[in-house]
Structure 1
Amino acid sequence: MATLRETAERFGPLTDAEADWLALLTADWQIIADLAFADLVMWREVPDGFVAVAQCRPSTGPTVHQDDVVGTMAGPTRVAHLRRALDEGTIVASREPRWDETYAVREDALPVVMNGRAIAVLTREVSQVVSRSSSRLELNYKGASDDLLRMITQGEFPVHTSVTGPKRGAPRVGDGVLRLDSVGHVTYASPNALSCFHRLGVHGPLMNKSLPRVTSELVTDRGLIDETLAMVVMGRAAWRTDLEVNGACLSLRAIPVSVDGSRAGAVLLCRDVSELRRRERELITKDATIREIHHRVKNNLQTVAALLRLQSRRVEAPEAKEALAEAMRRVSTIALVHETLSGTLDELVNFDDLAGRSMRMAADVASPGVQVKIVREGDFGLIPAQFASSLALVITELVTNAVEHGFVGREHGTITVTARRNDTDLDVVIADDGVGLSAKPTGLGSQIVTTLVENELGGSLTWKRVAGGSEVDVHVQVKDR
C-alpha cells in the first residue's frame, strides 16, 4: 500500500516539510470528516488540472464516493472551483450542487496552508440526497468542523503536538464531543459525552459549566492526577489524558481551536474506557504472575542444581560423580531459560543471547582441562517460549558431547555453531575439529537430544563424520503449532 507521499509524488515533487504536514493532516482528518458528516478529498495541482491524492469517508453518515477517487483527475467543471480556493486562500462554497450519477453533492473547497503558503486543496463533499433540517447535535458538529477547517486555511491545523495514530482507547467523534469556549466553559455536550461524565458521578447538564471546575471537584486523590489533565479539560493543549473517578475511566482528547493565532476554544473528545482499563490491569497482573512463576521455577531449579552439586561431593564413584554433574548441567540449562523468561513479557525469546550463555556454560563444565573456542555464525532470532527450554537443552547436550568426546587427549579445540533461520524452520549445525565420530552416539545425552528434537520440536537430526572432525545437523520447526 502506497503512502501519501508516494502517491502525491507520482504527480510532482514534495519537500520533506510538505510531506510531513500533509501526512500529519491526514492522520487526524477523520475527526473533521465525522464532525462534518462529509467526505474529505485532498487535491494537488498538476499541469492538466487537479488530481486526488487522499480521501477520507465519514463514520457518522453516508459516503459520497462509493469508489476510491485517489489518483483520479477533477472534472473540467470543478477545476475553476478548486483553483479559486487555492488562489484566494479561503473556504469557497459551491454555488450550486454538482450531480454525481443520480444524486446532488454540495462541495466546499479550501486551501491547505503551511507556513503561509497553500500546498494542496481540500474539498468537503456532502450528499444532498436527503433534505431535512439539522438537529442541534448536527449543527454543533458542523460548527466544530468549520472551526477546524478554517484553521487549516490559516496554517494552524494540524497541530504538531497532537496525539494521532492508532492508540488503544483513543476517543472518536461518535464516543462523545464537547465544545468549550476560551476559558473552558462547556458550550455544547453531545448525549454520549453527557453519559460519559454521568458515569464519573457528574449530575445534571454540563452546559455553561466550567469543565476544569467540574473535573477538579470529582478528583479526591490529588496524588493520582495526571499533570496534563488541567491543560486538556481547559482545551489549552492538543493532548490526551485519562480521568479515572469512582471506578469509571474516561479517555479525553483536546483539540484547541484558534482564530488568527488567538485561542478561541476547543473541541474535546471523550470515551468511556473503564472496561478497557480493567482488562489492561488484569493483563498486567497476569503478566506479573507469570514472570513471578518463572522466577520461582528458576530459583527452585537452582536449588536442585546446588543439591546435586553437594551430593556429587559426597560420592566416591567416578561414574556417579559424572552422572550427577550431567544432571546438574541439564537442570542449570533449564533454569537459565526460566531466568530469561522471568525478565520479559513477550512470548518470544531472543535465543541468541540465551544460546551463547548456555553453550559457554556447557563447554566450561564438560571438560575444565580443555580450552574450547566456540564460534557462532548466523542468528537464531526470536524463538517461541514453549520451544526455548527444549532447544537450549539440545544445543547444550550437543556442545557437551563435542567437548567430552571430540577433544580427548587435547588441550584445545574449536566448536562452530551455525544457525540458519526462516519464518518457520531453524537449521543448526554444530561442528568440531576433534577426532571425529566412530559411530552414532548411543548414550543418555544422545537419547535426550533425539527425543526432544523429534517429539518436542518436530524436527530431525543427522550425525556426520567429516574431514577434520564431526558434525551434527539439526532441523527443527520454531513456529506455533
Structure 2
Amino acid sequence: MSATMSIESICHDHTNLSEEEINKIIEVSQTIQMTADLSKANIFIDCLMKDGKQAVVVAEASPTTAKPIYENPVIGMKAYESFEPAVLYCLKSGKAMTSNRAITQERKQVEQSVVPIRADEGHVIGALVMEKDISDKLKERAELKALSRTAESLSDLLMDVSDTHPVIPDLIEEAFFFVEETGNLLYSNSSAINLVHGLTGKGCRSGENLVELLPFLEEIIQHPDDLFVTEKEIFNKNFKVKKILLPQNEKYNGMFIVLRDLTDLRDKEKELIMKSVAIQEIHHRVKNNLQTVASLLRLQMRRGIPEESKVYFLESLNRILSIASVYEVILSNSSIDEVDIYELTVKIGNMLVYVEPQAEARVNIAFEGDKLTIESKRAVSVALIINELIQNCMNHAFKGKSSGNIRVTFRQDGDWIKIKVKDDGIGYVASTKPSLGLEIVNMMVEHDLDGEFDLRKVEQGTEADITFPLEGRI
C-alpha cells in the first residue's frame, strides 16, 4: 500500500476529515522527508481522532542524516495527551508549541515542536510534529547534577573539619590538596606535606602557590575538564594525579588535587613482566632441549639398533615428546604456567595414533569433554599418564583386529577432574607383573596428582579412569 493510500485510509477510518482536508494532509506529507533530513529529526503528521480525545499518526519520515528515534514504524498509532500534551494542545487550540518534552510510543524522552496544519479556510486539520531524542542529554544532565551535589557535600565534609580534629583528610594515604583556581593552597593533609617536602625539601603552607612548589601541576590545574585524571613521572617517581573542580558557589571556589604514588606498583609490574619473559624463555629452552633429545633418539634408531630394543627406544621417545608437548601448549597460549589438558591430550593422542602408528590395526582416536587447565608441574604428569594409556591401547588392545577406536573424555565433577581412556579392543587381562607403563601411571596418579587410578575390562574393550583434585598440593 502506498504512503498516499495509507494516509487516506487512516484518515477515513479514524478522523472526521473531509476529502479536501485529507488531500491537504497528503500534500504536506510529500515534503516531510526533506524536512527530516535537513533538521536531523523525526517528522510526523498527527490528526485528531473522531472522539476528539486522542490523535493518530497518519504520516512519518525518519532522517537519513542521523540516527532515527524509532525502531519500528508508528503510522496508525495513537498519540495520547498524557504523553504528548503539545500535540493535542496544538490540534485543539491552533497554537504552535516549541521545545516541549514528550514521551514517545517507545517510551523515549524527546524534545517536541508542533505547528498546526490548516485547511484553506483556516481551521486546524492536523499537526506537523518534529521530535529529537534527548534521552542522552537528560542522562548527562542528571549525572552532572549528581556530581555537583556530591562535590559540594564532599567539600563541606572536608573543609568544615576543624584543625584540632581532622577526621577525613589525614586518614587518606594519598597527598590531598585543596587549591584556588589560581593555584594558591588552601589546605593540605599530612601526606601532601610529606610529599612536597620529599620532592622539594620545602615546607607546604596555606597561602603558598602550589604550582611554584610543584610546577608539573600547572597543566593539571589549568586543564578545562571538571574531572581530570592522568599519570606523571616526576623525579623518577610515578604519580597518579586527579583534579576535581568544585561547582561555583558562594562558599567554595576551587579544586581538589590528589596525588597517589604508584612507583612501587609500577616497579613490581616491571618485575612481573621481566619474570614472565624469563619463565617463557625457560619453557622455550626446555621444549627445545627435549626435542633435541628426541631427535638424537630418532637418529640412533635410524642408524640401527637391535630389533628387541626398538620398542623401548620408541616408548622413551614418546615419553619425551609428551613432556615437550606440555611446553608447546604453554608457549602457544598467553598464560605463563597454565596448561589446557584437553589441548595437551589432543596433541599427544594424535601424535601416537596418526604420526607414529604402531598397531597393526587402523586406529581412530576421539576426544570430548570440558577444557580444563592445570599448572605445568601437574600437566607433565598428566601428559605422561595419557601417553602411557594411549600407548598401551596401541600396543595391546587391537591384536588380531583390523581396526579399533580409542575415546578420551574429560569432565570436572565439583573439585575433581576425571579423565577416561576407553578402547573397543580385546579387553584388558590382568597379569602378575604389571608393565612399566602401568607402573608409571599408578605412581604418577597416586604420588604426583593425589588421585586414583582404575583399569578394568568392560563389555567391549578396556577402560582406564583417572580421578584427581582440581587444585594441587601447595
The TM-score bracket by the shorter chain reads: 0.5 to 0.7
Q: CA deviation at 1:278?
A: 2.6
Specify whether residues 237 and 341 from structure 1 end up closer, same or farther in structure 2 by C-alpha distance, changes over 3 A only: farther
Q: CA deviation at 1:348?
A: 3.4
The SS at the match of 2:285 is: helix
- The aligned residue for residue 468 of structure 1 is 460
The SS at the match of 1:210 is: helix
Whole-angstrom CA distance in 1 between matches of 2:415 and 2:212: 55
Whole-angstrom CA distance in 2 between matches of 1:462 and 1:379: 21
Whole-angstrom CA distance in 1 between matches of 2:390 and 2:261: 56
CA contact (8 A) 1:199 1:248 kept: no
Alignment of 1:95-114 (within 5 A): 114=142
CA contact (8 A) 1:196 1:272 kept: no
1:305 aligns with 2:294: yes
Letter in 2 for 1:215: F
CA contact (8 A) 2:175 2:258 kept: yes
Whole-angstrom CA distance in 2 between matches of 1:139 and 1:431: 69
Letter in 2 for 1:175: E
Bigger CA drift: 246-255 or 309-318?
Answer: 246-255
Whole-angstrom CA distance in 2 between matches of 1:116 and 1:201: 37
- The aligned residue for residue 194 of structure 2 is 195
Letter in 2 for 1:419: F
- The aligned residue for residue 216 of structure 2 is 215
The SS at the match of 2:258 is: strand
Length-normalised TM-score, structure 1: 0.57
Letter in 1 for 2:188: A
Whole-angstrom CA distance in 2 between matches of 1:370 and 1:475: 30
Larger Cα-atom Rg: 2
CA contact (8 A) 1:250 1:272 kept: yes
Whole-angstrom CA distance in 2 between matches of 1:378 and 1:469: 21
CA-to-aligned-CA distance 1:262-317 (integer Å, 9 cap, x gap): xx754222122333333333233223222221221111111111111111111242
- The aligned residue for residue 477 of structure 1 is 469
Alignment of 1:431-470 (within 5 A): 431-440=422-431, 442-470=434-462
Letter in 1 for 2:193: L
Whole-angstrom CA distance in 2 between matches of 1:216 and 1:133: 26
Whole-angstrom CA distance in 1 between matches of 2:427 and 2:323: 29
Kindly indicate whether structure 1 or structure 2 has the higher relative contact order, using CA contacts under 8 Å at least 6 residues apart.
Answer: 1
1:414 aligns with 2:405: yes
- The aligned residue for residue 40 of structure 2 is none
CA contact (8 A) 1:373 1:414 kept: yes
Letter in 2 for 1:388: A
- The aligned residue for residue 45 of structure 1 is none
1:135 aligns with 2:127: no
1:338 aligns with 2:327: yes
- The aligned residue for residue 357 of structure 1 is 347
Whole-angstrom CA distance in 2 between matches of 1:459 and 1:116: 59
2:379 equivalent among 385, 388, 398 = 388
CA contact (8 A) 1:187 1:208 kept: no
Specify whether residues 209 and 176 from structure 1 end up closer, same or farther in structure 2 by C-alpha distance, changes over 3 A only: closer
CA contact (8 A) 2:280 2:336 kept: no
Q: CA deviation at 1:423?
A: 4.7
- The aligned residue for residue 375 of structure 1 is 366
Whole-angstrom CA distance in 2 between matches of 1:470 and 1:311: 34
What root-mean-square deviation, in Å, do the aligned CA atoms of Structure 1 and Structure 2 show?
A: 4.0
The SS at the match of 1:429 is: strand
Specify whether residues 422 and 246 from structure 1 end up closer, same or farther in structure 2 by C-alpha distance, changes over 3 A only: farther
1:177 aligns with 2:184: no
CA contact (8 A) 1:461 1:475 kept: yes
Whole-angstrom CA distance in 1 between matches of 2:226 and 2:342: 45
- The aligned residue for residue 6 of structure 2 is none
Whole-angstrom CA distance in 2 between matches of 1:180 and 1:392: 63
Alignment of 1:272-311 (within 5 A): 272-311=261-300
CA contact (8 A) 1:301 1:335 kept: yes
Q: CA deviation at 1:427?
A: 1.7
CA contact (8 A) 2:181 2:221 kept: no
- The aligned residue for residue 399 of structure 1 is 390
User: Structure 1: 5+ residue runs without aligned partners?
Assistant: 1-111, 126-131, 143-171, 218-229
Whole-angstrom CA distance in 1 between matches of 2:166 and 2:359: 80
- The aligned residue for residue 415 of structure 2 is 424
Alignment of 1:204-243 (within 5 A): 205=204, 207-210=208-211, 214-215=215-216, 234=223, 236=225, 238-243=227-232
Whole-angstrom CA distance in 1 between matches of 2:384 and 2:145: 65
Letter in 2 for 1:367: Q
Whole-angstrom CA distance in 1 between matches of 2:414 and 2:456: 26
CA-to-aligned-CA distance 1:134-180 (integer Å, 9 cap, x gap): 129959969xxxxxxxxxxxxxxxxxxxxxxxxxxxxx944221234
Q: CA deviation at 1:389?
A: 0.4
Whole-angstrom CA distance in 2 between matches of 1:259 and 1:133: 21
Length-normalised TM-score, structure 2: 0.57
Whole-angstrom CA distance in 1 between matches of 2:344 and 2:375: 13
Whole-angstrom CA distance in 2 between matches of 1:249 and 1:311: 58
Alignment of 1:307-322 (within 5 A): 307-322=296-311
User: Structure 2: 5+ residue runs without aligned partners?
Assistant: 1-139, 155-159
CA contact (8 A) 1:183 1:234 kept: no
1:270 aligns with 2:259: yes
Q: CA deviation at 1:453?
A: 1.0
- The aligned residue for residue 241 of structure 2 is 252
Specify whether residues 141 and 430 from structure 1 end up closer, same or farther in structure 2 by C-alpha distance, changes over 3 A only: closer
Whole-angstrom CA distance in 2 between matches of 1:212 and 1:369: 84
Q: CA deviation at 1:407?
A: 2.3
Whole-angstrom CA distance in 1 between matches of 2:186 and 2:398: 84
The SS at the match of 1:358 is: helix
Report the count of equivalent residues.
320
Q: CA deviation at 1:369?
A: 6.3
Whole-angstrom CA distance in 2 between matches of 1:370 and 1:211: 85
Bigger CA drift: 240-249 or 430-439?
Answer: 240-249
Whole-angstrom CA distance in 2 between matches of 1:236 and 1:358: 58
Letter in 1 for 2:215: V
1:327 aligns with 2:316: yes
Letter in 1 for 2:261: D
Q: CA deviation at 1:412?
A: 3.4
